[in-house]
Structure 1
Amino acid sequence: MAGGTMVQTITPELRRWIVEQTVAGFSPESVLDAMVKVGWRQELAAAALEDSLREHRRQRGDGRGTGVAPVVVPARFQAVARLPEISLSPSLLCLDAGDRQVRVLATLSLPRVVVLGGLLSDEECEALIAAARPRLARSLTVQTQTGGEELNPDRTSNGMFFTRGESELVRRIEARIARLVNWPLENGEGMQVLNYPVGAEYKPHYDYFDPAEPGTPTILQRGGQRLATLVMYLNEPAEGGGTIFPDVGLEVAPQRGNAVFFSYDKPSPITRTLHGGAPVVQGEKWVATKWLREREFI
């Protein structure tokens, strides 16, 4: 490989180089970093690494009897067997959410994104805001070094968490979500409500927990990895506040009652689920977020 402008094609030569580097003792993470440093886009480099190591492992079996140590695909490149998923067909415009019909406004394959219309009623949006308002505090983010929480300058909202099932309103919405995404209700984290005043934002980030961080094993004890996110819009700021996906040039407008769902089958940038909340320019923004885990969230 050479620096400068390059045609980013995953060739047999590149696959051999990846395997040779890994067999020689370089970690998959260091191979990925080397590719990125010479100009490869991270998601394409990760895809080449994942495919090459999987094929090598398939050809070599577990490495026994070959004189070659087995190559282990790192956790962040291993896809889960099953994901929360909204069942769609090409002609399906509405979804049965049990107590409500929800419209399909837009879909994207990579990343897997579904924009939903009318997931919540106006009355439910107002009720969530009213219940959350007295409990707001400066939003925290997960501290990946320890598994705890911390203030983060990239996240300038105020927020709170509802306990799962804590009220009739929360239970109704959680049951609706579980039906829509075909995922056990108990595998969901408690719903979080966030308020963004003028100028507040959440800079682009990933929702999964990075396996390379020392605090991740502690975080995963509560229900495994995050697999999907649902962001519900509770009001409409006068300007700004969209949900952005920088890797694919997508922005979802914050329209009251609507929602955006996206899933990620591995904790890796290859999922292209980098996303953020754009700054609020005028007014304020209220959203409710539901994260879905592998197992029961405790």
Structure 2
Amino acid sequence: MSTTGSKQQVTPDLRKWIVDQAEAGHGADSVLKAMLASGWSEDVAIDAMEEVLRGHLERKAVAQGLPPAATVPEPDLAESPLYLDGGDRKVAVLQNMYSPRVVVFGGLLSDEECEQLIELATPRLARSLTVATKTGGEEVNDDRTSQGMFFQRGETELVRRIEQRIARLVNWPEENGEGLQILKYGAGAEYKPHYDYFDPAEPGTPTILRRGGQRVATLVIYLGEPDKGGATVFPDVRLEVAPKRGNAVFFNYERPHPSTRTLHGGAPVLAGTKWIATKWLRERRFE
């Protein structure tokens, strides 16, 4: 495994060598060090490792019966920034977790924006429904005891501004988002742990996917704080995100499978009222 000349190409032999090193248990640092010692430029070496190992892991996952991975929304956190540019607002990065892929944002919305969304949504609230994956329709689900409503995408100037901000933060087209959903959880209300992707094994899933493909990410924005309870919980990793007004929790899931460890729920509200806005992002334009 060596290289000469100014133009460095990732050859089949190099790809095989990188995979062999990974299978032998060598860490990324040692593989990179060996490539640099053989004359590879750092940029080429890093890109080659990421490409080859990503493809290798994907082939192994599919061989083991997992659904193929999709491209997902992803905030640009490569340089560990304290803030991201939301276009019209700086948004803090409070927490960054890779497995599952979870990012907690601070100050995604202002207090005034939270109040405006609640005011606009209140007259249109009704018992929350969930997607019925057996039929492709909607249904009342005992696991979800909130009230809610949907805005059409870009329905108001406020909604449009927030959607543009979200798209910029997570690097995903606005048109690939479902309409912003507003939810109200009173005392005792909850949403038991669940996955947001659509189960490929359910008979109604093909009908659902025609509107924009799979869901690939979720953003939960906290609009109003309960006095007690109401956290967003990820049971598989024992993570709990407090429902702080204006903050948000983002998570993506590259394949519709529990291996993403994105099982999550809204813990019961113990006192007061919790308001949230939920934004689901699809693979393609949502119609």
The yes-or-no answer on 1:245 pairing with 2:234 is yes
Residue 106 of structure 2 is matched in structure 1 by 117
The Cα shift of 1:208 comes to: 0.1
Aligned residue among 50, 69, 89 for 1:100:
89
Structure 2 residue runs without a partner (length 5+):
1-22, 24-55
Q: Deviations over 1:176-220 (max 9, x none)?
A: 000001001000000000000000000000000000000000000
Q: In 2, Cα distance between the equivalents of 1:214 and 1:53?
A: 26
Q: In 2, Cα distance between the equivalents of 1:52 and 1:233?
A: 35
Q: Deviations over 1:107-164 (max 9, x none)?
A: 1110000000000000000000000000000000011110000000000000000000
Residue 215 of structure 1 is matched in structure 2 by 204
Residue 282 of structure 1 is matched in structure 2 by 271
The Cα shift of 1:52 comes to: 9.5
Residue 59 of structure 2 is matched in structure 1 by 54
Give the residue type in structure 1 aligned to 2:236: D
The Cα shift of 1:253 comes to: 0.1
Distance 1:78 1:94, change over 3 A: same
Q: Deviations over 1:200-247 (max 9, x none)?
A: 000000000000000000000000000000000001100000000000
Q: In 1, Cα distance between the equivalents of 2:124 and 2:263?
A: 29
SS at match of 1:77: coil
Residue 165 of structure 2 is matched in structure 1 by 176
Which 4+ stretches in 1 moved above 4 angstroms? none
The yes-or-no answer on 1:269 pairing with 2:258 is yes
Q: In 2, Cα distance between the equivalents of 1:213 and 1:229?
A: 21
Residue 254 of structure 1 is matched in structure 2 by 243
SS at match of 1:104: strand
Distance 1:282 1:78, change over 3 A: same
Residue 140 of structure 2 is matched in structure 1 by 151
SS at match of 1:145: coil
The Cα shift of 1:78 comes to: 1.2
Q: What is the aligned length?
A: 233
Indicate the percent of aligned positions where both proteins have the same amino acid.
Answer: 70
Aligned residue among 77, 100, 104 for 2:67:
77
**Structure 2 length as normaliser, TM-score?**
0.78
Question: In angstroms, what is the RMSD of aligned CA positions?
Answer: 1.8
**Structure 1 length as normaliser, TM-score?**
0.75
Residue 285 of structure 2 is matched in structure 1 by 296
Q: In 1, Cα distance between the equivalents of 2:169 and 2:240?
A: 22
Structure 1 residue runs without a partner (length 5+):
1-11, 13-50, 58-70
Distance 1:178 1:153, change over 3 A: same
